[in-house]
Structure 1
Amino acid sequence: MSVRSSLIEPDGGALVDLVAAPPRVPALRAEAAALPRVRLAPVDLQWAHVLAEGWASPLRGFMREDEYLQSLHFNCIRLPGGGGLANMSLPIVLPIGDDDKERNGGAPDVALHGPDRGLVAILRRIEIHPHNKEERIARTWGTTAPGLPYVDEAIAPAGNWLIGGDLEVLAPIKYNDGLDHYRLSPQQLTNEFDKRGADAVFAFQLRNPVHNGHALLMNDTRRRLLEMGYKNPILLLHPLGGYTKADDVPLPVRMEQHSKVLEDGVLDPETTIVSIFPSPMHYAGPTEVQWHAKARINAGANFYIVGPDPAGMGHPTEKRDLYNPDHGKKVLTPQHGSWFRETQHTSLQGSSL
């Protein structure tokens, strides 16, 4: 059979990089000193990280109202210039309160400061629009039942307004937690895949330690890709590193375990790259799994492993799963995942194996 060459194009055709060139930083700091300020919550900083590195390409900042409505109601956004659509199943937004809205005073730009009050970015050509929390929750999760972890963490306590605009980040976002060397951007991952001569990249996301079933799944996927005619498929083992609910295993513990899995040869270190995906976790089932797959496309992955009930959870008030465990796989297959077929120009393969 004819095998496609290594990496596929980012969603929308080009990878976005919103980190300012170092020579611009002094001028940006001086500019920011005169701007109204918005302080980011920890989860907002994680989304700024996602945006800055291009995981959400072609999105160039926190969503303005048009992008928000497209994402919320159609799971996509229009490409610049009206040249098609890009998958975007989760709104990436920045909530603010009444005080922040008033302090803005009609300024076109605002300075974004992190939880530690350090300057992170400038948000340009801003637009402020209402944050209809009930609608957002209902459309994203398919329920407004109490007890949804991300809602309790990041939406319920957030402000009643959303501020959108183009993001210019002063420097790569770091957490100084001993794990920053694992946080490779899409461009860094693409460079590493090229360095290793990958002719296919298959991604596996997890938010808990690798267990035997995971390892069998990943190794079997590599075997199947070799049988399909690929010569050097590379595994991207890509644990989620943003917000997770309290009963998930903490990131440092997971990363130590993932390192041990490679050290012990359970996964081949020559054909595996371990990196942290900076996105927060929504637990929004089939809606969220589209985001997880789309982000890996932007890092060059052309295969994405999907197990049962990806991004799912138990119903918060009833004794049942919140989502059908097969639907996450189905929304990524060609007959269902039309946005992937139309925007990627090559099939993104989901498999429960």
Structure 2
Amino acid sequence: MATVAGVLRVLSVSSNNATALSPRSPKFSSSSPSGSAAAAFVSLRGAQSPGNLLERSSFQMGQSNISLMGQTTRKSVAPIKASALITPDGGVLVDLIVPGHEKVQKLEEARSLPQVNITKIDLEWVHVLSEGWASPLRGFMRESEYLQSLHFNALRALEGSLVNMSIPIVLAIDDVQKESIGKGKAISLVGPAGNTVAILRNIEIYKHNKEERIARTWGTTAPGLPYVEEHIRNSGNWLVGGDLEVLERVRYNDGLDHYRLSPAELRAEFERRGADAVFAFQLRNPVHNGHALLMTDTRKRLLEMGFKNPVLLLHPLGGYTKADDVPLEWRMKQHDKVLEEGVLDPQTTVVAIFPSPMHYAGPTEVQWHAKARINAGADFYIVGRDPAGMGHPTEDRDLYNADHGKMVLSMAPGLERLNILPFKVAAYDKTKGKMAFFEPKRADDFLFISGTKMRNYARNGENLPDGFMCPGGWQVLVEYYQSLSKEQDAGKKEELQQQVVSKAVKNPVPV
């Protein structure tokens, strides 16, 4: 039978009677008022839940990339001091960046090893692994880890502990690269810019069954899945896993590196601010006042629960995104305006970039997003409608059920310590002239402004209703979409000119 502490991980921010649901909360006890809500969630974490089924599994890993407390070397982990923050998965925060005094020696060694050229997305995964976002994983997955991630959405260490890992973090190589590696036990990874990025040791090469990977991760093999088309479809037929040693911190030199705080740096910042709770909000879109209402209301609820200083981690995704998403640099400009204009309180908000690539894999991917924030120190995670979702690539419908993301998070193996905060729907209240939580009984008073409508307003330089978004943030979006329109118009003009020239060459005018 699941305990109350194991059951009550879902806090509805829509409730006016929100109580402490976390075993870490200062008000929590088995006899607290929150106990009356237990029945509502027992079915989500009952004896036959996926988490409990996995806990009874006797499967053991072979050679493993997983590090656990007391089982890692001094250089591979960052020790966690006693604090109010949640501990990382495995008890330690993995740090795979080579110490400065060893870099020259490691670089010299790397030059003597077989080289594998990696893509920009591969580099983003190196970044993720190197800083401990995937703790306790210590490198690209070997086959046993890959299969556990693919089929169980979790990894189990030899001593039996379970951590969530719903997205396989793997490195593909082709036949030529496999042949060049031969029987070698280590390889060097060369980044898109031609620089040596890392050494991968104690490697294992195994078959890359793309169809199985795509089907298990996305639930479909339909053509048009953005990450698949960008990174998997034409990748190599083999995967190589091993222990990663990253020669230096990954930098992009795009003017945004100061936002790319590692989990260790985020934890230090939360400690500096005296946070006793951290609630994370991920987005890949601009922040409007509905988002802000949700975040400020969440902090209010946490204060009512007895926390003294909850801190918001506003954590936009900064890795690969599909072509029609607003680019990262423009999103960060917009987020800056949200803080500058006081929509969110800079004293209780930390804005940072999450370096992971985006899969658009719905309920499967949202587990990864939540798990990574545990390692950054967050013990509350806000989940919205259709998290990490997208439209079906070949049919006129959503790819995933909009409610399944939050339901899956409440059941996911290895996420029992994380408190899930379901999104409450916000819309523009025409009677109040601002964003407010939607009330079905007066639905006619509310206006839902879609992303398409917002883009059209921005392209035309029109203003949205007052109160939908802070003026400075909206102006950033207007500038972006108008610059995009100019680029598209210039492209069409150039294409037309080329067609005219081509036609003139084929059909010269007689003199």
Is the TM value for this pair above 0.5?
Answer: yes
Matched, 1:340 2:415: yes
Alignment match, 1:294? 371
Q: Deviations over 1:292-313 (max 9, x none)?
A: 0000000010000001000000
**Cα distance, 1:337 vs structure 2:** 2.5
Alignment match, 2:226? 149
The answer on whether the counterparts of 1:42 and 1:114 sit within 8 Å (CA) in structure 2 is: yes
Query: What percentage of aligned pairs have identical amino acids?
Result: 69
Q: Deviations over 1:96-115 (max 9, x none)?
A: 11110000021100000100
Alignment match, 1:115? 192
Alignment match, 1:243? 320
Partner of residue 184 from structure 1, selected from 261, 276, 290: 261
Higher relative contact order (CA 8 A, sep 6+): 1
The answer on whether the counterparts of 1:285 and 1:309 sit within 8 Å (CA) in structure 2 is: yes
The answer on whether the counterparts of 1:44 and 1:94 sit within 8 Å (CA) in structure 2 is: yes
User: Whole-Å Cα distance in 2 between the matches of residues 33 and 62 of structure 1?
Assistant: 20
The answer on whether the counterparts of 2:164 and 2:413 sit within 8 Å (CA) in structure 1 is: no
User: Whole-Å Cα distance in 2 between the matches of residues 226 and 277 of structure 1?
Assistant: 26
The correspondence of residues 13-24 of structure 1 with structure 2, limited to 5 A, is 13-24=91-102
The alignment partner of 1:203 has SS state of: strand
User: Whole-Å Cα distance in 1 between the matches of residues 98 and 289 of structure 2?
Assistant: 42
The correspondence of residues 143-292 of structure 1 with structure 2, limited to 5 A, is 143-292=220-369
The answer on whether the counterparts of 1:332 and 1:348 sit within 8 Å (CA) in structure 2 is: no
Taking structure 2 as the reference length, the TM-score comes to 0.67
Q: Deviations over 1:191-249 (max 9, x none)?
A: 00000000000000010110121111111111111111111000000000000000000
Partner of residue 67 from structure 1, selected from 137, 145, 160: 145
User: 1:6 is matched by which residue type in structure 2?
Assistant: A
User: Whole-Å Cα distance in 1 between the matches of residues 84 and 409 of structure 2?
Assistant: 20
User: Whole-Å Cα distance in 2 between the matches of residues 347 and 253 of structure 1?
Assistant: 31
Matched, 1:51 2:129: yes
The alignment partner of 1:12 has SS state of: helix
Matched, 1:349 2:420: yes
User: Whole-Å Cα distance in 2 between the matches of residues 323 and 299 of structure 1?
Assistant: 28
The answer on whether the counterparts of 2:189 and 2:197 sit within 8 Å (CA) in structure 1 is: yes
Instruction: Flag as ranges the 4+ runs of structure 1 deviating above 3 A.
Output: none
RMSD: 1.1
The answer on whether the counterparts of 2:204 and 2:241 sit within 8 Å (CA) in structure 1 is: yes
Alignment match, 1:133? 210
User: 1:85 is matched by which residue type in structure 2?
Assistant: L
User: Whole-Å Cα distance in 2 between the matches of residues 309 and 111 of structure 1?
Assistant: 39
**Cα distance, 1:33 vs structure 2:** 1.2
Q: What 5-or-longer segments of structure 2 have no aligned partner?
A: 1-19, 29-82, 425-511
Larger Rg: 2
The alignment partner of 2:339 has SS state of: helix
Taking structure 1 as the reference length, the TM-score comes to 0.96
Aligned length: 346
**Cα distance, 1:142 vs structure 2:** 0.3
Q: Deviations over 1:303-353 (max 9, x none)?
A: 0000100000011111111001001011122xx224311xxxx34223223
The answer on whether the counterparts of 1:125 and 1:166 sit within 8 Å (CA) in structure 2 is: yes
The alignment partner of 1:135 has SS state of: helix
Q: What 5-or-longer segments of structure 1 have no aligned partner?
A: none
User: Whole-Å Cα distance in 1 between the matches of residues 203 and 226 of structure 2?
Assistant: 29
The alignment partner of 1:248 has SS state of: coil
